[in-house]
């Protein structure tokens, strides 16, 4: 009888350890999106500048225009799990067919495709605070604001409206150390399956 009780106790302990480790790993992975802002901008404080060589061989700063996404996010688990995320997580947009088409119609390429070399992309993370809230931004260059020999001029603001109207037709993907940890619908801000 004593061996039987010990066997049951061991089994219960093993099940509870597995449950604890599962909840801990879920706790480590979770983010939620509180809010998203999307705009077309040439604000160098948000998207930076590009160094381009002019006709005389001198490097000059050129402001691009970009499709800019800003996500207000919240960590779901304990703050200690996320302390190094500023350096370890990455974000990107995966467009649906409407957004791809809008990009191609507007600037001539799918700016979300990492294979193209016509325009740059960027990403930033504002450190998560004690309330576990922070900001992640992603942008995709659409062309330069002034004529130059390296980057095509950006389309007019009127033409870029088509792209901005379709900008939430896709998903935000978050990776940590190259492993996907979250995928979110840009319209509903809900977590979705891969």
CA 32 to chain centre: 13
Burial of 110 (0-12, 13-18, 19+ CB in 10 A): middle
pLDDT digits (tens, 9 = 90+) for 43-52: 999 999 988 8
Task: Kindly state the average pLDDT of the residues 150-160.
Answer: 93
Q: pLDDT tens-digit profile of 65-87?
A: 999 999 999 988 776 666 666 66
More confident residue, 158 or 54: 158
Residue 151: count of CB within 10 angstroms of its CB? 20
Mean pLDDT of 130-153: 90
Taking the model in full, what pTM does it have?
0.81
pLDDT (0 to 100) of residue 86: 62
Number of neighbours of residue 102 by Cβ within 10 angstroms: 22
Spell out the domain ranges in the chain. 31-185
């Amino acid at each position: 009888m004593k061996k039987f009780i010990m066997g049951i106790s061991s089994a219960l302990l093993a099940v509870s350890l597995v449950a604890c480790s599962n909840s801990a790993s879920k706790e480590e992975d979770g983010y939620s999106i509180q809010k998203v802002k999307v705009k077309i901008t040439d604000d160098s404080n948000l998207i930076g500048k590009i160094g381009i060589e002019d006709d005389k061989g001198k490097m000059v700063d050129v402001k691009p225009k970009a499709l800019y996404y800003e996500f207000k996010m919240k960590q779901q688990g304990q703050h200690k799990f996320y302390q190094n995320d500023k350096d370890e997580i990455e974000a990107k947009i995966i467009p649906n067919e409407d957004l791809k088409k809008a990009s191609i119609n507007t600037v001539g390429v799918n700016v979300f495709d990492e294979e193209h070399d016509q325009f740059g992309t960027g990403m930033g993370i504002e450190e998560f605070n004690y309330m576990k809230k922070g900001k992640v931004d992603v942008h995709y260059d659409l062309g330069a604001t002034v004529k130059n020999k390296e980057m095509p001029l950006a389309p007019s603001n009127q033409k870029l409206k088509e792209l901005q109207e379709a900008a939430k037709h896709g998903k935000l993907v978050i990776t940590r150390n190259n492993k996907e940890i979250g995928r979110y619908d840009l319209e509903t801000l809900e977590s979705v399956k891969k």
